[in-house]
Amino acid sequence: MNDATTSGPFDLPGMIPVASFTLGLLAIFLVASWFAAWYDERTRRATAAIREGALLPSGFGSFFGVARALDDRAAGELVKLTRSQVIKQGVEGPRWADYDRTVTGGNFALVHEGGEEIEVDAHDAVIEGFPETSSGAYQGGGSAMPQRELHAAVNVGDAVWVTGVLARPKDNRGGAYRSGISRRKLRAPKRGRVMLSAMSPAIGWRARARSHKIGGYSALAALVALHAAFFRGFDVALVKSRLNDGMGIATYKFHPMLIVPAAIAVVVVAIIYGRELTRGRDHI
């Protein structure tokens, strides 16, 4: 009579730590790949060639053109960003830190290089890459620390990239008109803001996509290296237990010290990924 019993997969010594590290690194790879694809798609939309005279594509996208006032004035500010800052002490010494952000101005028209005009909803927009000016530091507001204000503006005639969600032609409900042309509206995405930038946002998105790709590939490389160099005996025992209906599991001994290289691998991946994300943000 055979007294052998069939064991489950979690009866194999080391199953929980090996599965935890494996699934953790695999999750990092999958999440990083998703974000890389997301930024690649944003870049594709921003750099897609638009045939002259064709309608701009609806939905999320980035569009380049010249800023114009809806009232046809020839000059002046359209949107202005004011950043209020105060000196704060940090690890590396005193630094300027934002404590308030204000956007003033209304909607304006963007004349795309292809000829189409769109109306940009610039309330609470993000302004990036435009020159900032300041009248200097001052004391005020009951604070003993110096304060200052930085101002950046989009003016009539400025070349600007606008990023947001462009309405479909049928969704336009009149809007503003200039020279008899009905303008479609560009608004902020959900849980986001319209971005006004002096340079193409595709530059930063490419850097972000690269950062996530490096982070994902480092997690995948660490996963393969762990199983090839340290978890090989576990993998062999797992395959044999599946082929033999779980019998013979007791012959495999999992050494707890194998957790050490796995933990080191996760830390190295985190350092690489974090460093690359910092580099990617520096390009935006």
Express each pLDDT in 218-246 by its tens digit.
Answer: 999 999 999 999 988 888 888 877 777 65
pLDDT given at position 173: 46
Whether residue 179 has pLDDT greater than 90: no
Whose tokens are 């959900």? That residue is 190
pLDDT given at position 52: 63
Instruction: Kindly report which listed range (111-115, 143-147, 161-165, 275-279) carries the lowest average pLDDT score.
Output: 143-147
d(Cα 198, Cα 133) in Å, to the nearest integer? 16
Binned at pLDDT 50, 70 and 90, residue 25 comes out as very high
Phi, psi dihedral angles at 62 (to 5 degrees): -120, 135
Q: How are beta strands 177-178 and 181-182 bridged, if at all?
A: antiparallel
Whether residue 30 has pLDDT greater than 90: yes
Binned at pLDDT 50, 70 and 90, residue 175 comes out as very low
d(Cα 46, Cα 58) in Å, to the nearest integer? 12
3-state secondary structure of 196: strand
Tokens at residue 131, please? Answer: 């020159």
3-state secondary structure of 163: strand
Nearest to 22 by CA among 240, 210, 238: 238
Write the pLDDT tens digit of every residue in 98-127. 888 888 888 999 998 877 889 999 888 889
Looking at the DSSP assignment, which residues form a beta bridge with residue 108? 120
Q: How many helices (H) and strands (E) does the chain have?
A: 4, 12
